[in-house]
Chains A and B, each alone.
Chain A
Amino acid sequence: MRKLGPSTRILALVALAGAVAAVAVSAAGASTNRHTATTITGAGSTFVQPLVSQWISPLGSAYGYELQYSGVGSGAGIAAITARTVDFGASDAPLSTDQFSACNGCEQIPWALGATSVLYNLPGVKNLLHMDGPTLAKIFMGQITAWNDPAITKLNPGVSLPSTKISIAHRSDNSGTTFNFTDYLSSVSPAWNSQIGRGVAVNWPVGSGGKGSSGVAALVSQTPGSIGYADVFYAIHNHLSYFAVKNSSGKFATPGLRGMLSAAQSDQKPAADNSLSIVNPPKKFANAYPISTFTYVIVPLQSSKAPDLKKFLFWAVTKGQTYGPKLLFAPLPKTVLVVAEKAIAKIHS
């Protein structure tokens, strides 16, 4: 009698191994990194990763440091620094009180300034379209569903908008960009704030999720009538259209360096934990782009590598900032720089 061929058994094993591996991967914790004297390891935010990657070679030539950074996501970065398997973590959302106490003697330092662009795809409309916060919140709550809704046409006088259905694209993974975006929606819309709230992932009432900025961009670029969001550099680099967003002064601002810097001026006094909130700044900041954000590096106050870590961080918040603008990260404003330098000075061995 003929037996089932060997390929059957192999396939069976492969199927089982696949199922097991899927779970094993999900169960695996943060990886540990080995380091030598001059290696500085970090993990976290993917938002800030392009900037940190730019630092590797100049840091090598300036101090002989070898910088290793894994863009594993803010949450995993926080977990890694909490477990002290890296020298620093990076997170786009400021740490919660629980996370601070878990991290046991950590501080967060603002070290980059970026913004989130609101993407759209509306074939046949060439104008730079305008948007405001309350309308955006209603769109993302599924209350405004067509492009020619009065709320949108009112913001865009003289532009003839089609009756195309709006479809929403959002991140399906956890992301600092999502935190920035929902933080903004929460601050402009009480309904959003109470029903959905802010976070690196939220319970989206409508729309499709894409994995990563590229996933959102793929959905937006293929779907006429869609609206999504991504960090500015990604949007510009991939030639995606994005809205000019109305700020508190009534001006429609684009997510450029000027808009971010103006928004950054709005929070001069960081909280005790060094967190700064600059979304939807007051109207005094006339040029502000309202969906801007600081992103943070998280370090232990006591580190065996304190001298090297301090040297690296001082470099990052000063010289390192000059690598930002071409990636659409604005250099840290002076006041924030002072805060950052004070915080860095507290690190000891």
Chain B
Amino acid sequence: MSTAELSAEATRRPFTGRRVRFGDVALQVVAGAAALGVTVLVGLIIWKVFEQAWPAIQKYGLGFVTTVAWNPVLGHEVYGAGSFLFGTMITSFGALLLAAPLSMGIALFLTELAPNVLKGPVTALVETLAAIPSVVLGLWGILVLGPVLRTTIEPWLHSAFGFIPLFGEPSTAGASIFTAIIVLTIMVLPIVSSISRELFLGVPHDLKEGALALGTTRWEMVRGVMFPYARGGIAAALILGFGRAIGEAIAVTQVIGGGVFIHWNLFSGGDTLGSKIAASYQGSTTKLQTASLIYLGAILLVFSLLVNLLAQWIVRRSAKKHGITRGGHA
């Protein structure tokens, strides 16, 4: 919920003609202070990020965003965000592409198909997935998932679909963009599926039953009633998941393998904005390198803000189109 809405909520009911109660005043003060505090904090963070990144912004300008280079060796120093931006996009989109059908399936199963005995436990399990610390997922990625992908799944995909550039020669170490995509998928899954589940639960029963009464099959009802009804919300949920994938740093750093390359081979290494910052900030040796890393952070920040705004816009637009008000915010 945006801060503007929060304060709007707090001032919606004026106290006209009523006794001013201490509780009301306290609520207004506390809620207002909280909203203001967050706004100021975000503002300060943005200001500080850009201030710290300034030496790099000054030196490289906007060209930094597309430059594919990262060489911290003294005397050869040159920095650019191109390959990291590419890595961020390819891992986040990849994760989204895998997570979208899976989480729709989970959400439909939990709302429409699962026998009642299963609903509770499965819901709990899916939400537990969200509680696994990303560093633990990363460890699992490097110790378990990576080797499995490297020895079985990647070679299989390569031999079957090797003509598609995405499924190139697997790198011999278990760290790859593909491993990062799978780890991110696991992180995105609980977010998207639990939001979708709520959206599906929100589809009015009379609509669903009406469709069934007209003789539709269950699938036709899902396709014709539930998806259109929840469309805006699902899009917002996916974008939220995307935002989560963009910003994830630690787990990705552990499994992605690194490298300043732009290539379409999912089975080779790469880096994302977040993973580069996580790997290199500690022990960054020169001012320019530190500033460049923070410039990466600034790009990430702008990116995340845009993604969140996009999600809000989609929800608003879809709510308007359907003539209904739903939460109105993602």
* Segment 240-273 of A: residues with Cβ below 8 Å from B: none
Q: How far is the CB of A10 from chain B (nearest CB, A)?
A: 10
Which of B173, B194, B278, B293: most chain A CB closer than 10 A?
A: B173
Can you name 7 A-B residue pairings with CB atoms under 8 Å?
A8-B237, A73-B283, A174-B284, A203-B260, A207-B269, A219-B173, A223-B173
Determine the main DSSP class of B at the interface with A: helix
Q: How far is the CB of A218 from chain B (nearest CB, A)?
A: 5
How many A-B residue contacts, CB cutoff 8 Å?
Answer: 206
Q: Which of B22-30, B97-105, B244-252 sits within the interface?
A: B244-252
Residues of A within 8 A of B257 (CB): 172, 208-209
- Other-chain contact of B327, A9, A13, A99, A173 (Cβ < 8 Å): A9
Residues of B within 8 A of A2 (CB): 201-202, 326
Residues of A within 8 A of B174 (CB): 219, 222-223
Residues of B within 8 A of A208 (CB): 171, 173, 175-176, 257-259, 269
Residues of A within 8 A of B324 (CB): 1
Complex contact A202–B327 (CB within 8 A):
no
Using CB atoms, name the residue of chain B closest to A166. Answer: B172
Determine the main DSSP class of A at the interface with B: mixed
Complex contact A18–B143 (CB within 8 A):
no
Q: Is B282 an interface residue (CB 8 A)?
A: yes
Cβ proximity bits A157-194 to B, threshold 8 Å, 1 near / 0 not: 00000000101111011110000000000000000000
- From known contacts A8-B330, A208-B269, A222-B146, infer whether A198 and B73 are also in contact, taking CB-CB under 8 Å: yes
Complex contact A76–B284 (CB within 8 A):
yes
- Other-chain contact of A22, B70, B277, B311, B327 (Cβ < 8 Å): B277
Q: How far is the CA of A14 from the CA of B74 in the complex (A)?
A: 39
> What number of A residues sit within 8 Å (CB to CB) of B?
63
Q: How far is the CB of A203 from chain B (nearest CB, A)?
A: 4
Q: Is A234 an interface residue (CB 8 A)?
A: no
Complex contact A75–B285 (CB within 8 A):
yes
Q: How far is the CB of B51 from chain A (nearest CB, A)?
A: 9
Q: How far is the CA of A165 from the CA of B150 in the complex (A)?
A: 14
B interface, how many residues as a size bin? 35 or more
Which residues does B use to contact A, with CB under 8 Å? 1, 42, 45, 48-49, 52, 70-76, 142-143, 146-147, 150, 171-176, 191, 194-195, 198-199, 201-202, 233, 237, 240, 243-244, 246-249, 253-254, 257-260, 269, 271, 274-275, 277-286, 290, 293-294, 296-298, 300-301, 304, 308, 311, 324-327, 329-330
Which of B296, B297, B298: most chain A CB closer than 10 A?
A: B297
Residues of B within 8 A of A96 (CB): 74, 285
Complex contact A219–B258 (CB within 8 A):
no
Q: Is A325 an interface residue (CB 8 A)?
A: no
Complex contact B1–A9 (CB within 8 A):
yes
Residues of A within 8 A of B45 (CB): 20, 23-24, 27
Residues of B within 8 A of A8 (CB): 195, 198, 237, 327, 330
Q: Is A19 an interface residue (CB 8 A)?
A: yes
